[in-house]
Amino acid sequence: MNPPVNTPLRVAVIGGGQNSEHEVSLASAASVAAALDGGRYEVVPLTIHRDGLWSGPGGSALGPSVAESLAGAVGVLAGCDAVLPVVHGPRGEDGALAALCDLAGVPYAGSPLRAGALGMDKWVTKLVAGAVGVATAPGRLVTRADLDSLGFDRSVVVKPVAAGSSHGVSLVRDAAGLRPALEQALELDERVLVEEVVTGREIDLAVAELPGGELLISTPLEIVLDDGLFDTATKYDGSARFVVSPAMGADEHTALREATERVYRALGCRGLARVDFFLTQDGPVLNEVNTMPGMTDRSQVPKMFGAQGWGYRALLETWLEAALSGASAQGTARGTAA
């Protein structure tokens, strides 16, 4: 049930998480909370600490243990009108928080459990993309049992299957570097993806679901590097340049937009997402999908939509309204079926 017209919507904004993207998520959540608080919204900030404990507004503890903390958090979530689960990476973006919100019966922004799990798994994302005609880099799945049988015949990119912010990602140019790169990636995930290097421009597009279900695809953004890989260091040290609305042919732009929508819909994404490509001479090659991308006002997704005249708060409000609209439609459908 929606609150009375003059009553602010009570919105839980969750940040933190139990993974290597903890600090990035805290920054995203703080930015979202600050932009929305006041007027139409009453923001309830919640933090998941690295040890799994939750804390509420003002840092107050929700419980002395993981289990009690989670029970307390569910009670807080159930008292909200909507949730913005701004947690990147495993135990957040991978559908874990979507499942928690579903079980608590509270609407939430972003992709549901299935899409979050599929999008977080880079290997499965490749399989889904290939099934709908979107190219991906040739590669193979590797576990620790495969380490002694791997050979090296060309430069490759090594990455954990389910990690974000490029943690554990390495560009390997010679045989001596392969084993250390694999060991590093295996510290973050028991499965590792080894892909051939793709030569092309790094182009990202963002997707926003509007309250009526229509998709709005952003202007492209190009990541420009002097050399090397867009890894964790270059993401945050300022050495990479982001060029919004880069020059490209009309056919290239159309191909990127079509591939973006195809992958978004095939994975079953909802709300906001970012889809990353390499633009090659043969067309777009999918790199990965982020179902909960960075969401500070300086992040790529707000930059892309900002170039189309869509302010940061307006983007967040649309994200939230789409979640509430979708929840209302699902409730109506369930009532009709009953």
DSSP states along 130-163: HHTT-EE--EEEEEGGGGGG----S-EEEEESS-
Query: What are the tokens at 108?
Result: 């939430």
User: Is residue 237 domain-shared with residue 254, that is, in the same domain?
Assistant: yes
User: Is residue 243 domain-shared with residue 296, that is, in the same domain?
Assistant: yes
Mean pLDDT in residue range 272-282: 97
CB-based contact 162:189 (threshold 8 Å): yes
pLDDT beyond 50 at 64: no
In a domain, 3, yes or no: no
In a domain, 160, yes or no: yes
Q: For residue 61, what pLDDT band results from cuts at 50, 70 and 90? A: low
In a domain, 260, yes or no: yes
Mean pLDDT in residue range 10-20: 93
User: Is residue 272 domain-shared with residue 127, that is, in the same domain?
Assistant: yes
Beta pairing partners, 277: 203, 286
Cα separation, 166 vs 24, in Å, equals 12
Per-residue pLDDT, 295 = 95
Q: For residue 20, what pLDDT band results from cuts at 50, 70 and 90? A: confident
Report in angstroms the alpha-carbon separations of 204 from 91, 99, 169, 259, 276: 24, 28, 18, 11, 4
User: Is residue 35 domain-shared with residue 181, that is, in the same domain?
Assistant: no
pLDDT beyond 70 at 329: no
Number of compact structural domains in the chain: 3
- Provide the domain limits for residue 184: 139-196
CB-based contact 302:195 (threshold 8 Å): no
Nearest-Å Rg of the Cα atoms of the chain is: 20
In a domain, 320, yes or no: no
Burial of 205 (0-12, 13-18, 19+ CB in 10 A): buried
Cα separation, 157 vs 162, in Å, equals 15
**CATH number, domain containing residue 161:** 3.30.1490.20
User: Is residue 165 domain-shared with residue 131, that is, in the same domain?
Assistant: no
If you ran DSSP here, which 8-state letter would residue 177 be given?
G
User: Is residue 210 domain-shared with residue 306, that is, in the same domain?
Assistant: yes
User: Is residue 269 domain-shared with residue 169, that is, in the same domain?
Assistant: no
Q: For residue 335, what pLDDT band results from cuts at 50, 70 and 90? A: very low
Per-residue pLDDT, 332 = 34
Burial 96-118 (b: 16+ CB within 10 A, else e): bbbebbeebebbbbbbbbebbbb
pTM value is 0.89
User: Is residue 129 domain-shared with residue 258, that is, in the same domain?
Assistant: yes
Task: Please write the tens of the pLDDT for every residue from 246-262.
Answer: 999 999 999 999 999 99
User: Is residue 239 domain-shared with residue 171, that is, in the same domain?
Assistant: no
| C-alpha closest to that of 39 among 63, 71, 7 | 7
**CATH number, domain containing residue 14:** 3.40.50.20
pLDDT beyond 70 at 41: yes
User: Is residue 179 domain-shared with residue 54, that is, in the same domain?
Assistant: no
Between residues 164 and 332, the one the model is more confident about = 164
User: Is residue 238 domain-shared with residue 250, that is, in the same domain?
Assistant: yes
In a domain, 237, yes or no: yes
Mean pLDDT in residue range 185-200: 94
Question: Positive or negative CA dihedral for 293, 296, 297, 300?
Answer: negative
User: Is residue 72 domain-shared with residue 221, that is, in the same domain?
Assistant: no
CB-based contact 292:92 (threshold 8 Å): yes
Question: Positive or negative CA dihedral for 225, 230, 235, 237?
Answer: negative
Query: What are the tokens at 219?
Result: 């202007």
Between residues 36 and 20, the one the model is more confident about = 36
In a domain, 236, yes or no: yes
